[in-house]
Amino acid sequence: MMRAALLAALAATLLAGCGLGVDLRPRPAADAAARESIAAAGGDPGEWVVGNSCGSSGTCGVELSPRCDPAAVVAINRYRIKDSFPTLLGDDRIGRAAARGAPCRKR
């Protein structure tokens, strides 16, 4: 009886949309986390270029560059990606850089 109740609960969970699937691949998940960090700091994500080396789950770096000079990396955040959920490791350097504003805007 207990086994049937557990199976019914599992089936209900899966049918309700809380499945075991991965929503985002590691690269877009890390990009989204960086853009959220920019917005949370009061910055405009459109002023920045975000790039990363996240090819699979695990630890990876996300670089932030101003849109006017994409070769100039001004901040790097490290994330651990697991099941399409990025977890920031250490300080939010991207957020701090975004709070200062894009360097090309200040010219």
Domain ranges of the chain: 23-106
Per-residue confidence (pLDDT) for residue 4, from 0 to 100:
57
* Main-chain dihedrals φ then ψ at residue 74, nearest 5 degrees: -105, -15
The pTM assigned to this predicted structure is: 0.73
pLDDT tens-digit readout, 14-30: 555 554 455 778 889 99
Per-residue confidence (pLDDT) for residue 48, from 0 to 100:
95
Residue that is written with structure tokens 């270029």 in the block: 49
Question: Which residues are registered as beta bridge partners of 86?
Answer: 81
Annotate 14-78 with DSSP letters as a single string: HHTT--S--SS-HHHHHHHHHHHHHHHTT--GGGEEEEE---SSEEEEEEEEETT-TT---EEEE
Residue ranges for the chain with pLDDT beneath 50 = 19-20, 107
CB 60 within 8 A of CB 81: yes
Q: What is the DSSP letter of 101?
A: -
* Main-chain dihedrals φ then ψ at residue 56, nearest 5 degrees: -150, 175
